[in-house]
Amino acid sequence: MSYFDAASSAPLHPVARQALLASLDEGWADPARLYREGRRARMLLDAAREAAAEAVGCRADELTFMSSGTRAVHTGVAGALAGRRRVGRHLIVSVVEHSSVLHAAEAWEASGGEVTTVAVDRAGAVAVEAYEAAVRPDTALACLQSANHEVGTEQPVAEVAEVCRAAGVPLLVDAAQSLGWAAVEGPWSLLAASAHKWGGPSGVGLLAVRKGVRFAVQGPVDERESGRAAGFENLPAIVAAAASLRAVRAEAAQEAVRLRELTERIRARVPQLVPDVEVVGDPVRRLPGVVTFSCLYVDGETLLHELDRAGFSVSSGSSCTSSTLTPSHVLRAMGVLSEGNVRVSLPVGTPAEEVERFLSVLPGTVAVVREKLGAPVAVPAAVVGDGDSLVVDALGRRCPIPVIELAKRIGDVPVGATVRVLSDDEAARLDIPAWCEMRGQEYVGEEPADRGSAYLVRRLS
């Protein structure tokens, strides 16, 4: 079985396993106690904090161990906003942030705060100028991920951090996806990360708060971890997290070159091997091991199941794989195709042979899924005739059926005429315009309908 979902959770690094087992014997005592076992535990905790702080690029007394990356984000956002409540109640986030950041923003807005959401381009990147324009005198905090978890696009964190510093606004960076590869550059103020993303154990997060940043802990204050993380430290997991972070950083430069070559191979060959595919994300500024693409006329859930049967574990941002039946907020914000979406994120040490096997299996797998759904092989040839419109009723049918029906019927109208697609599937709002761009047809727009919406497409060829 080839595990290609490291962006969700990386396999436990061998160094993490060794450190975890060793610290179970040595680090079980309370590090706050003064007897021998407590002092030994305190030494392990202090050494882990020093190692993690070195990797983050901060002082040891600026770093707090949390119970998860999500808890680190929530604590960081809440503490920074509370610490600057006299400045104002304005928060800035990007539209493609991890759900932990977006949920924190929703909670802030529900409590009476104001949130500005910065858009991204089709590659998933924010513009530095957009953050600069969003900053106001009452801005208390800005948040920006270092790299996107779904498409791998790296964000201009250092440039945005400079903008925020000039305006006197702290910047919180979600570095969960990138910290295993390198420290985050620029004058950021707060940073959150999660150990299981780089091969450490789950249940360990990091929160770094630079000296001078106004920060007010919310909720009951505990005497541990500078009052920012209540409860007894999971010392074995913390030691394993710090040890594995140091280990993956030592391997990062060489491994990044190798994984980047493998993902470039996937980016280049998938469109050659599989027709009607859109590779998404920035082609240059991207994480080494992540590549994402979307396949027209494919049910994402079925595709993932078929790939799993073929021995490949991948993930997807398609609405078909979601209980909400709405496409990924990242793909939606980018305006790219969401149906049949596949994210391949290669763990450290992935053999090139496994990538080649994936490329050999993928075309046949996609073809099988498309055949099951009755997808068209190609756009029908032009016809000559009168009439200027045609209605395709796809109400009650989920992705990718509305787009498949559109593709089948576009040839039934003459060039210059329109097809009106009726759909109550949220994904159609994203996938029909994406199909038009891929197929050289004109997306006219959306109109209200008795049920769902009507999407108008004009045939150009």
Taking only the tens place, the pLDDT of each residue in 292-309 is 999 999 988 899 999 999
164: burial class by Cβ within 10 Å (0-12, 13-18, 19+)?
Answer: buried
User: How would residue 373 be classed by pLDDT, with cut points 50, 70 and 90?
Assistant: confident
* Token pair in block for residue 279: 């590779």
Of 168, 247, 156, 162, residue with least CA distance to 200: 247
Q: Are 95 and 120 in contact (CB under 8 A)?
A: yes
* Token pair in block for residue 327: 């496409």
Alpha helices, H only, 168-313: 235-273, 300-309
Of 103, 93, 95, residue with least CA distance to 71: 103
pLDDT digits (tens, 9 = 90+) for 224-282: 777 788 788 899 999 999 999 999 999 999 999 999 999 999 999 999 999 999 999 99
pLDDT of residue 176: 97
The answer to whether residue 379 scores a pLDDT higher than 50 is no
Characterise 179 by phi-psi region: left (phi > 0), alpha (psi -120 to 50), beta (else): alpha
Report whether the peptide linkage leading into residue 220 is cis, meaning its omega lies within 30 degrees of zero. no
- The single residue listed with the structure tokens 């079985």 is 1
pLDDT digits (tens, 9 = 90+) for 147-170: 999 999 999 999 999 999 999 999
- pTM for this model (two decimals): 0.89
The answer to whether residue 106 scores a pLDDT higher than 70 is yes
Give percent of the chain above pLDDT 70. Answer: 96
Among the ranges given (93-97, 165-169, 176-180, 396-400), the one the predictor scored with the smallest mean pLDDT: 396-400
Q: Considering 58, 143, 295, 320, which one is annotated as catalytic?
A: 320
Q: Distance between CA 324 and CA 100 in Å, rounded?
A: 17
Give the chain's length: 461
User: How would residue 320 be classed by pLDDT, with cut points 50, 70 and 90?
Assistant: low
Q: Are 138 and 88 in contact (CB under 8 A)?
A: yes
- The single residue listed with the structure tokens 């993690």 is 52
pLDDT digits (tens, 9 = 90+) for 325-365: 577 899 999 999 988 999 999 999 999 999 999 999 999 99
Name the average pLDDT for the chain.
92
Q: What angle do CA 90, 96, 100 make, to 5 degrees?
A: 70
Q: Which DSSP string corresponds to 106-165?
A: HHHHHTT-EEEEE---TTS---HHHHHHH--TTEEEEEEESB-TTT-BBP-HHHHHHHHH
Q: How far is CA 267 from CA 272, 279, 327, 343, 440, in A?
A: 9, 7, 22, 11, 22
pLDDT of residue 324: 58
SS3 of 207, please? Answer: strand
Q: Are 63 and 55 in contact (CB under 8 A)?
A: no
Instruction: Among 220-224, 308-312, 444-448, name the most confident range.
Output: 308-312
Q: Are 307 and 365 in contact (CB under 8 A)?
A: yes
Tell me if residue 320 is catalytic: yes
User: How would residue 321 be classed by pLDDT, with cut points 50, 70 and 90?
Assistant: low
User: How would residue 62 be classed by pLDDT, with cut points 50, 70 and 90?
Assistant: very high
* Token pair in block for residue 67: 């119970």
Amino acid identity of residue 196, one-letter, is H
Q: Distance between CA 30 and CA 35 in Å, rounded?
A: 9
